[in-house]
Structure 1
Amino acid sequence: MQPALEMDAPDEDFALWPTGTFDPYGFLVLDGRMAPQDVGSAVWRIAGSNGDVPEDGELPDPLEAFLYGLLTGEYLVAPGGFRVTDDATGAVFEPGCCNGLEEWRDWLEVTDGTGEGWFGHDPYAAAERVGDTVRLTANTKVAHSPVIEVSVDELRRLLAAAEQDLRDFVRLAGGWAERRLPGHAAAVTAALARALTLETSP
C-alpha cells in the first residue's frame, strides 16, 4: 500500500522551482525517499490543486500568488489515494477520479467502521470487509475485475505504514521548502500536513 498523488500534464510555463515531467493521470508515490525534483513536483501538484486568489485579486508576487490557495484555503485537497499492489498476483487497486489523499482516513471505516469504502470512479475502486477479510475490488463496474484479499489486521498494518509514508513525505518536503521557499517553509509544511489530513505531531 502506497500513498499515490495523481499527477497532471506537465506545466511548461512553471518556473518557480524545478519539477519533473509526468503523464496526465499518472501517479507519484509519496514517501521520505523522494528525489528533490519529485518533491517539487508533488508540492506543485498539491498547491496547484488548491489554486485560489484573494478577493481583490492583487498578488503581484508570482510565488505568493501560486501558494495563496494552499496557504489560506480552509479545505485542502490532494488528488489521488492509496494504491495497493498484490505482489503474488500482480493485481493493482488504484484510486479513481474524485478520490483524494485528504480522504485517506476513509480506509478506517473499512477496518473499524461500516466495513465499506468507495475510492473514486474510472476505475470504480471499492473495499468491503467480510468477516476478518477485506476484499479490494479494482473496478466494481467491470466483470471479473481483479480482487485483492487481505486480512483486517494486515490492512491495519498497511494503513499505518502508508500513514508513516505521508508523514515522512511532509518532513522531507519541509526540508525541501527550507531550501527552495525559505520565506514560506513553515507555512507550506503545515499546509501540506493539512492537505494530507495529518496531525502536526509525528
Structure 2
Amino acid sequence: MLNGKPTPAEVGTAVVRIADCDDFEPEEEHDPCPTDPLGNLLHGLLTMLPDLFAAGGFRVTDTTTGTVLVEPGCCNGLETWRDWPDVLDGTGCAHFGHALSSTAERVGDTVRLTHDVDGTDGSPVTELPPDQVRRLVADAQQDLPDFVADAQQDLPDFLGLAGAWAEQHLPAHAAPVTAALARALDLASSA
C-alpha cells in the first residue's frame, strides 16, 4: 500500500518497482542507458519526462457472473487516480490503458464503461448509476491492498517516506528521484 505506513524495505521495493515500470529503451532524444546497475535502474525514472508511469489501476468485475468487464491495460497507472472524481462529477474520462482500450465516462445520469474503444463499433458497454460507481470506488479503496486507500493523503505520505528513503539509500540522486516519483504519482506540486 502506498501510504505513510510501509517499512523502509517496503518503500524501497515500491521505488524500485516504479523505476522498473519506467525501464525501457530510450528514444533518440534521451541519452543512452548507463551501464552501471544503479544508473540503469534509475535512467528511465530520471529521464523520461513527463511520461513516468506507476503500474496499477481498477479492475471492474460483474460480481453476479464473475466476468471481468474492464481491467488495467499495459499503460494504466496509479497516476490516473485523479480521473475517478472527474468521471463521477461528469467533467472527465478514465482510461484503462491498452489491449483492451477500455474507458469510463459520465454520460447523463450514468457512468458508461466501454470495454474496448479501439475495437469496432459495438464494443460491449456497461452502464451504472454514479452513486453505485462511487460506492464501488470507495469499496475498492478500502478493500484492495494494492490500491491507494485515500490518495489525497496516502500518496503524499508515501512520497515523504520515499524522499527520506532516497536520502538514506540514494543520497546523490535523492532530489531527482523524489521529484520523479511525485510526477509518476501525479503529485508533482507536492515534491
Determine if the TM-score, normalized by the shorter chain, exceeds 0.5: yes
- How far did residue 128 of structure 1 move? 3.8
Q: Which runs of 5+ in 2 are unaligned?
A: 117-122, 142-147
- How far did residue 71 of structure 1 move? 1.3
The alignment status of 1:75 with 2:33, answered yes or no, reads: no
Q: TM-score, normalised by structure 1?
A: 0.59
Task: Give the secondary-structure state (helix, strand or coil) at the position aligned to 2:15.
Answer: helix
Cα 1:75–1:127 shift into 2, 3 Å: same
Output the amino acid matched with 1:109. D
| Structure 2 contact 87–105 (Cα < 8 Å) conserved | yes
The alignment status of 1:164 with 2:134, answered yes or no, reads: no
| Structure 1 contact 77–100 (Cα < 8 Å) conserved | no
Q: TM-score, normalised by structure 2?
A: 0.62
Q: Which runs of 5+ in 1 are unaligned?
A: 1-28
Cα 1:162–1:134 shift into 2, 3 Å: farther
- How far did residue 175 of structure 1 move? 1.4
Give the number of equivalent residue pairs.
169
Structure 1 CA distance for aligned equivalents of residues 158 and 81 of structure 2: 15
Could you say which structure has the higher helix fraction?
2
Q: Deviations over 1:113-147 (max 9, x none)?
A: 44543323567654343656656x5x8479898x8
Cα 1:58–1:192 shift into 2, 3 Å: closer
Could you say which structure has the higher strand fraction?
1
Structure 2 CA distance for aligned equivalents of residues 140 and 35 of structure 1: 38
Task: Give the secondary-structure state (helix, strand or coil) at the position aligned to 2:94.
Answer: strand
CA RMSD, 1 decimal = 4.1
- In structure 1, the residue matched to 2:187 is 198
- How far did residue 41 of structure 1 move? 2.0
1:109 to 76, 86, 106: 86
Cα 1:123–1:131 shift into 2, 3 Å: same
The alignment status of 1:99 with 2:76, answered yes or no, reads: yes
Cα 1:174–1:106 shift into 2, 3 Å: same
Structure 2 CA distance for aligned equivalents of residues 124 and 166 of structure 1: 26
